[in-house]
């Protein structure tokens, strides 16, 4: 059985729910190898503009992130408890009510609606449990899949950070998107705690 789709060795305790049976569980240091595999996917590396780097460096970064009170990192689990992605709220400024949403899915689980379900759950956490007023996101202007997921979750495109990312010897523009609390409140969909 492929390691990316194998059942987890130890059941994870979900701490947050989304639609379509998705759940979130806190990221652990032991998850670094799985996340490294996802980040090493050529499509993911290109679309995120992040060089995968070494597994050792990623383990150290995950360990640092676990102690960072300005972020929350989660594995996204499918209805069977299999890890299918990573969702995070980073750069949380509780006094300002702002954070950045980050999402990456396992290549085998893309284009199935999981991205929108996971992002909806993440924004429900930000606005329903945390005192956020604004959640923002950034992606390449050519990353049509990410832009579609963000739009489906209610994010509004604010502008472009021109030539703000260097990847594979080429400069890319990054789209700046955000979702404000009143816009989230106006969304006509069930909230995570209603599922």
pLDDT digits (tens, 9 = 90+) for 89-119: 999 999 999 999 999 999 888 888 899 999 9
Check whether 3 has a pLDDT greater than 60: no
d(CA 37, CA 161): 29
Residue 7 and residue 77 in contact, taking contact as beta carbons nearer than 8 Å? no
Integer Rg of the chain from CA: 16
d(CA 126, CA 124): 5
Q: Taking residues 125-134, what's their average pLDDT?
A: 97
| Highest-confidence segment of 2-6, 14-18, 62-66, 163-167 | 14-18
Q: pTM of the full predicted structure?
A: 0.87
Residues 58-98 pLDDT 10s = 888 888 888 888 999 999 999 999 999 999 999 999 999 99
Residue 37 and residue 146 in contact, taking contact as beta carbons nearer than 8 Å? no
Check whether 120 has a pLDDT greater than 90: yes
Q: What is the mean pLDDT of the chain?
A: 89
Task: State both tokens at 149.
Answer: 């997921």
186 or 58, greater pLDDT: 186
Residue 126 and residue 89 in contact, taking contact as beta carbons nearer than 8 Å? yes
Domains and CATH numbers, the chain: 13-187 (3.40.630.30)
- Within 67-157, residue ranges assigned H as helices are 114-128, 144-152
pLDDT value at residue 22? 96
Q: How many percent of the chain have pLDDT more than 90?
A: 64
pLDDT value at residue 154? 98
What residues form DSSP beta bridges with 166? 171
Instruction: Give φ, ψ of 10 to 5 degrees.
Output: -120, 130
């Amino acid at each position: 059985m492929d390691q990316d789709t194998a059942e987890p060795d130890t059941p994870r305790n979900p701490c947050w729910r989304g639609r379509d049976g998705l759940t979130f569980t806190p990221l652990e240091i032991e998850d670094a190898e799985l996340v490294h595999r996802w980040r090493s996917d050529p499509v993911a590396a290109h679309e995120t503009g992040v060089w995968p780097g070494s597994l050792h460096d990623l383990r150290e970064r995950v360990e640092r992130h676990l102690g960072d009170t300005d972020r929350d990192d989660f594995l996204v689990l499918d209805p069977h408890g299999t890890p299918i992605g990573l969702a995070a709220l980073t750069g949380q400024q509780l006094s300002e009510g702002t954070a950045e949403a980050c999402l990456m899915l396992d290549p085998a689980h893309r284009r199935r609606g999981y991205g929108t379900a996971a992002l909806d759950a993440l924004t429900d956490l930000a606005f329903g449990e945390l005192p956020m007023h604004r959640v923002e996101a950034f992606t390449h202007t050519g990353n049509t899949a990410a832009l579609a997921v963000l739009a489906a979750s209610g994010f509004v495109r604010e502008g472009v950070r021109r030539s703000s990312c260097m990847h594979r010897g080429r400069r890319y523009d990054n789209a700046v998107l955000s979702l404000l609390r009143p816009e989230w409140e106006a969304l006509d969909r069930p909230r995570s705690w209603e599922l």
